[in-house]
Amino acid sequence: MEVGADTRALVTGASSGIGRALARQLAARGARVGLVSRSRAELEALAAELPGDGHVALPCDVADRAAVEAAVAAFAERAGGLDLAVANAGVAFYGPFRELAPERIERMTAVNWLGTVWTARAALEPMVAAGRGHLAIVSSGAAQRSFPDAAVYGATKSAQRAFGEALWHELAGTGVGLTVVYPGEIATALHDHEKERMPVWYRGGPRAADPDALAEAVLAAIGDDRRAVAFPRIVGLLGIAHGLSPRLADAVLRRLRGATAAPRR
């Protein structure tokens, strides 16, 4: 689906990082953008500064099904339809599984996994009824290969992957496309609350990829109706290596990120 002046796009997690970069690039291409996250003030400021007209701040917690349904319906009504939805909102809490607070496990599950499901469920209704549209799901490289100290985060991202892979087939013949996005380490605020606790294998920081470059790759993949996009490319290669042999991926990871990325048993 080509993004252009007629596109009505809703992005969750639009107040920051990847979602913000996507919202900017969508607006730059003429799209009207519905901006979802919990931070009303940030969304309103972003709606005002984006190029073009008709952008809407839709403050909402994606873990709240009724709130997501209301936000999507409100945007579709104001914009006169919905062409693109990006389920991007997410949170991360890293650390050894046995030390992870149950509330953090529940939060990641509610936001990353159920938030994606509620967004997809609400957004597909008008798109399938119209016989056209596109859903993008922002998963993670952690769905290609899950990492120690991120077991639950990786599980929520793998859930998105499994969901998107099956849904891609279910949507055959509906006119609605689907793309699952697998970002590697991207320079955003995702881990700002846990900088001191990040595992040794994590690189992040200045070596992380630019969210604008990722957003460009995502819009290109949507334009080409690709079922998946991994960015940077190494993420897709790691997924292939892991699919061929987890031991091969272990070896690659130890080489690239040191022993903590795939501890020997």
46 binds ligand NAP (CB under 6 A): no
Identify residues 219-248 at the interface with ligand NAP (CB under 6 A).
Answer: none
Centre a 10 Å sphere on the Cβ of residue 142 and count the other Cβ atoms it contains: 22
Identify residues 69-108 at the interface with ligand NAP (CB under 6 A).
Answer: 88-92
Does the annotation mark 153 as catalytic? yes
Judged by CB under 6 A, the residue of 84, 86, 137, 138 near ligand NAP is 138
Smallest distance, ligand NAP to C-beta of residue 227, A: 18
Whole-number Å distance between alpha carbons of 144 and 230: 9
Region of 16-24, 120-128, 195-203, 225-233 interacting with ligand NAP (CB under 6 A): 16-24
Which H or E run includes 48? helix 40-49
Radius of gyration, CA atoms only, the chain:
18
Judged by CB under 6 A, the residue of 17, 34, 126, 177 near ligand NAP is 17
Burial of 24-46, coded b for 16+ CB within 10 Å and e otherwise, reads: bbbbebebbbbbbbbeeebbbeb
Strand, helix or coil for residue 82? coil
Region of 69-77, 179-187, 239-247, 256-264 interacting with ligand NAP (CB under 6 A): 179-187
Smallest distance, ligand NAP to C-beta of residue 39, A: 3
Query: Which of 81, 184, 66, 198 has its CA nearest to residue 119?
Result: 66
Catalytic residues, by residue number, are 153
What does the binding site for ligand NAP look like in residue numbers (CB under 6 A)? 12-19, 37-39, 61-63, 88-92, 111-112, 138, 140-141, 183, 185-186, 188-190
